[in-house]
Amino acid sequence: MTHDESPTARALLLLELIQSSPGITAERLAGRLGVSERAARRYVGILREAGIPVESVRGPYGGYRIGRGLRLPPLMFTQAEALGLVMAVLDGHHDSADPADPVGGALGKILRVLPEAVAGPAAAVRSLSTRHPEPGARTPSPETTAVLVQACAGHRRLRLGYRIRPGDERVMEVDPWAVVVRRGRWYLLCWSHTKNARRVLRVDKVAGVEVLDVRAVPPADLDPAEMLEDHLSAGWRHEVEVVVDAPAEAVAEWIPRSLGRREAIDATTTRLVGSTDEPDWYVRQLTAIRAPFRIVGSRELREAAEALGRRLLQAGT
């Protein structure tokens, strides 16, 4: 149990433990959850506040169980509530898409008893990855995310209000292709009819959504993860060109695709092409390369590399 799991994820796991082991003690619950007994009792309180009849018996043979003769109340989640639950668990528990994981198993049971119209979008979002969230990553509105996921699945065009920056909102029509989560940030991959180009939009910046009665079919060769990584590596202020004395397969192990496009010059040499707004940060990422390399451009990137080299040399004197 990792320390970054959300209370929602731990409460779900605690419910699973009580159901599978009636009479389980607070001490055992705490041990299984990797928390203090006080925290375990707090998660029991969360379940009770949600209307789940968790009973406790004192004494040497006491513990927690679901109340005798009682059943869990019907799961009457709205679509937005179900999706909000999944998104909260994803934010704090990164194996929740794995049915073999206890939290993943508990979440799967909930989704299986929900109506398809509610469970479908939630299950689609559950399959996404949110590993290693970036600092400042914002979870978008469950209601908005539910509409976007459904539009992708139903192949329906959208009219969006999109906040470019505070006080600057644009209206655009898009064909939605996929919702992708990368390091805690949620993106909509789409074709913008307003710009007549592919676009990657931040879901947390979508201010309004209208589903249009127009069919929108994604490209047959669409690779959502690849499209997102290509987008993240291009379009920034300073161009990047780095030549690495290693084959492209090796460079792929050291440098993520989001830092640039890898082009094989020959069997033993690779060119890395991309862009960045932060040369100092980018140069630090290049230190992961375990082979000789040369920074061809830009000037700002070379200057950042020289400055980093001087600092390292001074640290060694």
Residues 27-53: b if buried by 16+ CB within 10 A, e if exposed: ebbbebbebeeebbbebbebbeeeebe
Structural domains of the chain ordered from first start: 7-66 (1.10.10.10), 79-126 (no CATH), 142-220 (2.30.30), 234-315 (3.30.70)
Dihedral sign (CA 165, 167, 170, 171): positive
Phi/psi of residue 76, each to 5°? -110, 45
Q: Model confidence at 237, in pLDDT bands (50, 70, 90)? A: confident
Whether 312 shows a pLDDT value over 50: the answer reads yes
Higher pLDDT, 121 or 248: 248
Please provide the DSSP assignment of 137-189 as one string.
-----HHHHHHHHHHHHHTEEEEEEEEEETTEEEEEEEEEEEEEEETTEEEEE
Mean per-residue pLDDT, 209-224: 92
pLDDT at 129 over 60: no
User: Residue 57 carries which side chain, given as an amino acid letter?
Assistant: V
Cβ atoms of 33 and 92 closer than 8 Å: no
| Tokens of residue 259, six digits | 């830092």
Peptide linkage before 298 cis (omega within 30 of 0): yes
Q: Is pLDDT above 50 for 12? A: yes
Residue 2: pLDDT over 50: no
Q: What is the pTM of this model?
A: 0.54
- In this prediction, residues 42-52 reach a mean pLDDT of 82
Task: List the strands of the sheet with 238-244, edge to edge.
Answer: 261-266, 269-276, 238-244, 293-297
C-alpha dihedral (293, 299, 302, 303), degrees to nearest 10? 180
